[in-house]
Amino acid sequence: MTITATALPKSGEADGTVKYAGIGPLELEAGGFLPDVVLAYETWGQLNADASNAVLIQHALTGSTHVARGATDEEGWWEQLVGPGATIDTNKFFVISINIVGGCYGSTGPSSEAPDGRPWGSRFPLVTLRDSTEAEARLADALGIDAWHAVLGGSMGGARALEWAATFPDRVKRCAVISVGAYSTAEQIAFAQAQTLAIRQDPNFNNGDYYGGAAPEHGLALARRIAHITYRSALELDFRFGREAQHQEKPLAAAVLGERGRYQVESYLDHQGTKLVRRFDANSYIAITEALMSHDVTRGRGSLEQALSRTTAEFFVAAVDSDRLYFPAQSRELAAALPGDVLVHLIEAPIGHDGFLTEIGQLSAQLRESFFA
């Protein structure tokens, strides 16, 4: 397999610079095929001589590869964990984050050019998390990384980390699985289906072939609203918004339904939808959401205990105590099925699932002691 030379960080290149690697064709678990896959990624720190200091950090559903500051001063999504002198000290460790296949931050996805020169659109195949792991393994090969010092992530990133440990057990020495279970439950799949259907039913979706025309922005924004409700706890929404009206709008003063004003929480969800539309592709949202729906570490591997018995990594499992998307019970189930005695660390935060982002600093000391001392 030939990997393009751009895979290797250049001498003197600033941390957090987006790079691209062509990894060749990829045969997919569900039967599809991508003839020429490109992966976008960012790195921080320097790979040591024996490549023993490499750390893979996996992004969540709509996350990017920008884990921490670097080439620009733009804040990263795990700034509390990664950087010079931080828990994952980039003076000591070589950190890499890779955009998942199907994404829209530089890796091959539905908006990418297919061999005929047109965007993949409706022709883009189903990609599973196991497929993305295979693709990332090729990039690791190109970088000379035989085994990761650690692989970690939260939410979908945690699912990707777990898949790495199960698919390539000899290549993962330590694995942190945060705010996700061993598989997507029926309820999680149901929430996901509502989101993808919101996009598909947008009049502008055109079966996914909307490039060059109006994008299905309303459907994508609605999908984000549905998702965001699951990312935040009822307590947090009540505390922040309650039943208050948005500014001077009057929710209970309108001659007809379509003219009423909004509650503050409605305005908040509108804002979240608009933000995502500005930075994300609707087809990629579907592709990655369906990849997360595919998450099941047991697929083709027997029971949960049998599937995890193949792993050799040291595990760190954590959950957000108020999470109502990936309940802490799922983390406890995962920990109980792993070899050895694995504790479940708790992030205490009223915010809900998004605590794995906003409150990740609570795990700094435990992660440093366990993985990065």
Residues 169, 162: Cα–Cα separation, whole Å: 10
| Closest alpha carbon to 38 in 6, 64, 70, 8 | 6
Residue ranges matching CATH 1.10.1740.110 in the chain: 189-290
Token reading at 333 = 């189930």
DSSP 3-state of 73: coil
Residue 246 and residue 154 in contact, taking contact as beta carbons nearer than 8 Å: no
Among residues 59, 149, 218, 353, the one annotated as catalytic is: 353
What was the pLDDT predicted at 5?
Answer: 44
What was the pLDDT predicted at 194?
Answer: 98
Write the DSSP string, 109-156: -TTSBPTTSSB-GGGPPP--HHHHHHHHHHHHHHHT-SSBSEEEEETH
Q: Residue 197: which residues within 8 A CB-CB, separation 6 or more?
A: none
User: What superfamily does domain 5-184+296-372 belong to in CATH?
Assistant: Alpha/Beta hydrolase fold, catalytic domain (3.40.50.1820)
pTM: 0.95
Residue ranges matching CATH 3.40.50.1820 in the chain: 5-184+296-372
What was the pLDDT predicted at 347?
Answer: 98
Backbone angles phi, psi at 82, to 5 degrees: -120, 135
Residue 373 and residue 316 in contact, taking contact as beta carbons nearer than 8 Å: no
What was the pLDDT predicted at 2?
Answer: 47
What was the pLDDT predicted at 73?
Answer: 84
Helices (H) and strands (E) in the chain, counts: 11, 10
Residues 297, 158: Cα–Cα separation, whole Å: 12
CATH of domain 189-290: 1.10.1740.110
What was the pLDDT predicted at 230?
Answer: 98
Residues 330, 349: Cα–Cα separation, whole Å: 17
Write the DSSP string, 156-223: HHHHHHHHHHHHSGGGBSEEEEES--SB--HHHHHHHHHHHHHHHTSTT-GGG--TTS---HHHHHHH
pLDDT tens digits in sequence order for the chain, 373 residues long: 445 545 556 656 889 999 999 999 999 999 999 999 999 999 999 999 999 999 999 999 999 999 999 878 899 999 999 999 999 999 999 999 999 999 999 999 999 999 999 999 999 999 999 999 999 999 999 999 999 999 999 999 999 999 999 999 999 999 999 999 999 999 999 999 999 999 999 999 999 999 999 999 999 999 999 999 999 999 999 999 999 999 999 999 888 888 899 999 999 999 999 999 999 999 999 999 999 999 999 999 999 999 999 999 999 999 999 999 999 999 999 999 999 999 999 999 999 999 999 999 999 999 999 999 9
What was the pLDDT predicted at 161?
Answer: 98
What was the pLDDT predicted at 72?
Answer: 80
Q: What is the β-pairing status of strands 19-27 and 344-347?
A: unpaired
The conformational region for residue 155 under phi > 0 = left, psi -120 to 50 = alpha, else beta, is: left
Residue 50 and residue 147 in contact, taking contact as beta carbons nearer than 8 Å: no
Q: Residue 330: which residues within 8 A CB-CB, separation 6 or more?
A: 180, 181, 182, 185, 319
Residue 352 and residue 231 in contact, taking contact as beta carbons nearer than 8 Å: yes
DSSP 3-state of 370: helix
Among residues 155, 284, 294, 322, the one annotated as catalytic is: 155
- CA torsion sign for 158, 92, 146, 311 is negative
- Annotation says 149 is catalytic: no
What was the pLDDT predicted at 7?
Answer: 58
DSSP 3-state of 97: strand
- Annotation says 155 is catalytic: yes
What was the pLDDT predicted at 71?
Answer: 77
Residue 101 and residue 112 in contact, taking contact as beta carbons nearer than 8 Å: no
What was the pLDDT predicted at 326?
Answer: 98
Among residues 15, 281, 296, 323, the one annotated as catalytic is: 323
